């Protein structure tokens, strides 16, 4: 997902990138989540440790979402519509467009320019397809 969004980011204009950086205050959602966790636990990590906490938390959210996807997919194959695209779109809507701003990790969705929404959706669509592919590989390894 990260490589997909980075590729999308690199295709954006310098003015679009500058507007996004200014709006979010140079902090990504994983950084803001790590700061909240550090404050809650009383931790005072180094910059490198903070980055590790942020990345670990970000990956943990993705792993948990993948587990939830696999459980739902086993119950109802329609969940896999579009080979994970539906899941990726739902994940984007629930997290990027909803939950992160509700818990104070991101600005309200209307504050972001369209490129940020498109980039996030694209990344989550890629994530959904990869999650579905991994699920299929684990469930039917002989087919691949």
Cα 135 to Cα 100: distance, rounded to the nearest angstrom: 26
Indicate if the pLDDT at residue 143 is higher than 80.
Answer: no
What's the chain's average pLDDT? 89
Indicate if the pLDDT at residue 35 is higher than 80.
Answer: yes
Q: What is the pLDDT of residues 44-98, one digit of tens each?
A: 999 999 999 999 999 999 999 999 999 999 898 888 889 999 999 999 999 989 9
Residue 15 banded pLDDT, cuts 50, 70, 90: confident
């Amino acid at each position: 997902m990260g490589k997909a969004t980075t590729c999308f980011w690199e295709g954006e204009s310098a003015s679009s990138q500058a507007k996004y950086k200014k709006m979010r205050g140079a902090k990504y959602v994983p950084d803001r989540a790590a700061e909240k966790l550090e404050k809650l636990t009383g931790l005072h990590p180094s910059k490198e440790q903070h980055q590790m906490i942020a990345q670990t938390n970000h990956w943990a959210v993705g792993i948990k979402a993948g587990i939830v996807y696999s459980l739902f997919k086993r119950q109802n194959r329609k969940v896999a519509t579009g080979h994970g695209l539906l899941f990726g779109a739902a994940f984007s809507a629930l997290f990027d467009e909803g939950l992160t701003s509700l818990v104070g990790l991101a600005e309200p969705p209307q504050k972001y320019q369209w490129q940020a929404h498109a980039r996030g959706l694209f990344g989550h669509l890629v994530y959904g397809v990869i999650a579905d592919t991994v699920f299929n590989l684990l469930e039917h390894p002989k087919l691949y």
